[in-house]
Amino acid sequence: MKPLQCPKCQSDMDRIREPDIEIDKCPDCGGKFLDPGELNALVTAMAGDIEFCSLDNLDHFDGEDKHPWRNCPKPECLGHRMRKIDLLAYSDTIFDHCDKCGGFFLDQGELADTNLELEALTKHKSHDEYRGRIDGRLVRLDILADALLKSCAGGLPLPFVTGAVAADCLRLSVYFEKPLAANLHVSSEKWMGRFLKSIGLLNRQDIEIGHAEFDAAFIVKGDDPEKIRRIFSDAALRDELLQFRAKKFRMQTRPGTLEIMDRRIVYTEGPYAEGTRYDVEADPAGIVRWMVRLAALMES
């Protein structure tokens, strides 16, 4: 195989061994080209799908990067210009990303920056705003103060300290009695799923339920397709989920995102100005009652 040419300095890149994967590294500038999945493997500071989360909010990047635009070095991409994306959508670490092959180019030091930044992020914890039982189910509301919360694949909450700008995200969780399925993750952010599918990032774990309307509305990932299809073979459950957008739930003023994971259903809304709250027991938006009903359907 012909070596890749470094997108930065055009030198032939070397195949080098990182602990458990092989990547392309430039001997001159130290830049690294990573195929889909390899960035996740190299990031040590945090578990979860860092690539997915970084691609989750492309419109946040404003084009300011100290590095020039780069072209993808993969032969099949024919010099396709890479895009700039922010690590986890809110960050100073900016990667080059190819939307054809799903690869990333990291300048020297960017991987170390990434790990440092992620370590800082995980230190910022949410506080528990509400924790109680509604219709017998554990319900929790977390307020992430001074933070922008990214709700990501794997259910990873990623609060990011914003400095001067105080902001709160509301995150409502309704728990199952028992975990449902291995590594289940269902998300209402379907536009992102289509995009990730188109570049091959979701191929491994994307599960089609076999009902066109449902598959068009949700991304479903997980380790046990049989079990997951069985759960969503229930028409009443699918109908309830399909009504999520139509119901236009608002704890405050912005539409939020819905996720279903092994242990809980999560609804995330915001960021809002500091001090934003929601009365879980009165539930004026009806979202808590709806999620409790959904949880019961999922377990029946």
| The binder of Zn ion chosen from 100, 211, 229, 250 (CB under 5 A) | 100
Residue 20 is classified by DSSP as S
Q: Residue 208 has which token pair?
A: 């089609």
In contact, 249 and 285? CB cutoff 8 Å: yes
Shortest gap between Cβ of 34 and Zn ion (angstroms)?
Answer: 11
Judged by CB under 5 A, how many residues of this single chain contact Zn ion? 14
Of 7-15, 60-68, 174-182, 239-247, which part binds Zn ion (CB under 5 A)? 7-15
Q: Determine the Cα–Cα distance for residues 250 and 252; give it in Å rounded to an integer.
A: 5
Q: Determine the Cα–Cα distance for residues 106 and 76; give it in Å rounded to an integer.
A: 20
Of 37-45, 102-110, 128-136, 234-242, which part binds Zn ion (CB under 5 A)? 102-110
Shortest gap between Cβ of 101 and Zn ion (angstroms)?
Answer: 3
Of 43-51, 103-111, 118-126, 176-184, which part binds Zn ion (CB under 5 A)? 103-111
DSSP string, 44-72: -S--S-HHHHHHTTGGG--S--SSPP-B-
SS3 state of residue 241: helix
Closest CB to Zn ion among 6 and 156?
6
Residue 85 in the binding site for Zn ion (CB under 5 A): no
Q: Residue 97 has which token pair?
A: 């990303």
Residue 199 in the binding site for Zn ion (CB under 5 A): no
* Residues between 48 and 77 with contacts to Zn ion, criterion CB under 5 A: 72, 74, 77
Shortest gap between Cβ of 196 and Zn ion (angstroms)?
Answer: 15
What residues have CB less than 8 Å from 174, skipping those under 6 apart?
Answer: 134, 137, 138, 139, 264, 265, 288, 291, 292, 294, 295
Shortest gap between Cβ of 71 and Zn ion (angstroms)?
Answer: 9
Of 3-11, 54-62, 84-92, 236-244, which part binds Zn ion (CB under 5 A)? 3-11
* Residues between 110 and 149 with contacts to Zn ion, criterion CB under 5 A: none
How far is Cα of residue 146 from the mean position of the Cα atoms in its chain?
20
Shortest gap between Cβ of 7 and Zn ion (angstroms)?
Answer: 8
Shortest gap between Cβ of 15 and Zn ion (angstroms)?
Answer: 14
Closest CB to Zn ion among 27 and 286?
27
Residue 9 in the binding site for Zn ion (CB under 5 A): yes
Question: Scanning the structure block, which residue is given the tokens 């609060």?
Answer: 159
| The binder of Zn ion chosen from 42, 50, 55, 98 (CB under 5 A) | 98
Task: Please provide residue 30's backbone torsions phi and psi, each rounded to the nearest 5 degrees.
Answer: 80, 5
Shortest gap between Cβ of 30 and Zn ion (angstroms)?
Answer: 7
**CB count in 10 Å sphere of residue 22:** 11
* Residues between 14 and 53 with contacts to Zn ion, criterion CB under 5 A: 26, 28-29, 31
Q: Determine the Cα–Cα distance for residues 206 and 219; give it in Å rounded to an integer.
A: 7
Q: Determine the Cα–Cα distance for residues 182 and 191; give it in Å rounded to an integer.
A: 24
Closest CB to Zn ion among 48 and 103?
103
Shortest gap between Cβ of 252 and Zn ion (angstroms)?
Answer: 40
Query: Given the rule CB under 5 A, which residues bind Zn ion?
Result: 6, 8-9, 26, 28-29, 31, 72, 74, 77, 98, 100-101, 103
